[in-house]
């Protein structure tokens, strides 16, 4: 019996099979390479995040030298850093809404304690400022703050900055912006602050008054206590030497 092969056809089939195998291998290699690159990028990003966390932790664990020299109040916080303490004494002078203002004629000083996380370079974020547990102020509570202080120093890395920030806090708490209150738990405010608020406004706040001037006008608050902001008194400086 004679067996014959079609050599050209056999070789073509063999070469085609080799090319297909090579193509599959190349595709697999490219996929593996893409996966390796993606994994490498993820590992690099994770390492970068850990590095930033380590840098942040180092900044939190150390403080500006003045803190120790001035014997400022300190406490260790839950994020592994330090809070610097402020004893703020202020006096309520105005209660405001978006368009109206009520001036407080008679009000006693009230004192409260606040804590602010501080970095080694004196950096801070107002939103992280908190009160003592179980106490609060307008716009500040045990979990954080929702306010801005326009004249606060950008850093607290000297004793002068510390006192400057303390004075800025006192001015900030001399006024209450009713229509931006985050929490209406007036019972947690300092007693002298509560007593300084006119009774109609105090009862309105206790009921969890709405945040807008429209609702305020519809409430039982005596609007005779308020005047439009554009009608505020303009103060004139007088020279007493004349």
What pLDDT score does 227 carry?
Answer: 86
What pLDDT score does 156 carry?
Answer: 93
What pLDDT score does 235 carry?
Answer: 39
71: left (phi over 0), alpha (psi -120 to 50) or beta: left
| 172-194 confidence digits (pLDDT tens) | 999 998 878 877 788 889 999 99
What pLDDT score does 125 carry?
Answer: 92
| 58-73 confidence digits (pLDDT tens) | 555 578 888 888 888 8
- Furthest C-alpha separation in the chain: 139
Question: Look-up: residue for tokens 């708490």?
Answer: 173
Non-local (6+) Cβ contacts of 18 within 8 A are none
What pLDDT score does 171 carry?
Answer: 92
Token duo for residue 164: 């400057």
Distances (CA, A) of 30 to 235, 239, 241: 77, 84, 89
Question: Look-up: residue for tokens 């103060």?
Answer: 235
Residue 60 contacts residue 165 (beta carbons within 8 Å)? no
* CA–CA dist 135, 137 (Å, integer): 7
What pLDDT score does 154 carry?
Answer: 92
Token duo for residue 88: 């703020």
pTM (predicted TM-score):
0.65
User: Which parts of the chain register pLDDT below 50?
Assistant: 3, 5, 233-242
Q: What single DSSP character describes residue 125?
A: -
What pLDDT score does 143 carry?
Answer: 87
Pairing of strands 100-103, 227-228: antiparallel
């Amino acid at each position: 019996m004679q067996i014959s092969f079609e050599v050209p056809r056999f070789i073509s089939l063999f070469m085609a099979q080799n090319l297909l195998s090579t193509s599959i291998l190349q595709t697999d290699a490219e996929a593996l390479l893409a996966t390796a690159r993606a994994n490498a990028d993820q590992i690099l990003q994770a390492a970068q995040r850990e590095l930033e966390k380590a840098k942040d932790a180092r900044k939190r664990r150390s403080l500006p030298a003045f803190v120790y020299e001035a014997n400022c109040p300190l406490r260790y916080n839950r994020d592994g850093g330090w809070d610097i303490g402020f004893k703020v004494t202020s006096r309520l002078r105005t209660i405001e809404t978006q368009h109206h203002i009520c001036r407080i004629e008679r009000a006693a000083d009230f004192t409260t304690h606040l804590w602010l996380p501080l970095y080694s370079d004196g950096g801070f974020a107002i939103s992280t400022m908190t009160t003592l547990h179980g106490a609060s102020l307008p716009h500040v509570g045990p979990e954080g703050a929702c306010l801005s202080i326009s004249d606060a120093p950008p850093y607290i890395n000297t004793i002068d900055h510390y006192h400057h920030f303390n004075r800025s806090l006192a001015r900030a708490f001399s006024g209450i912006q009713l229509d931006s209150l985050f929490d209406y738990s007036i019972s947690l405010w300092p007693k002298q602050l509560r007593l300084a608020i006119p009774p109609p406004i105090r009862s309105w706040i206790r009921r969890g008054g709405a945040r807008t001037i429209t609702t305020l006008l519809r409430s039982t608050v005596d609007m005779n206590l308020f005047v439009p902001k554009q009608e505020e008194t303009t103060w004139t400086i007088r020279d007493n030497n004349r």
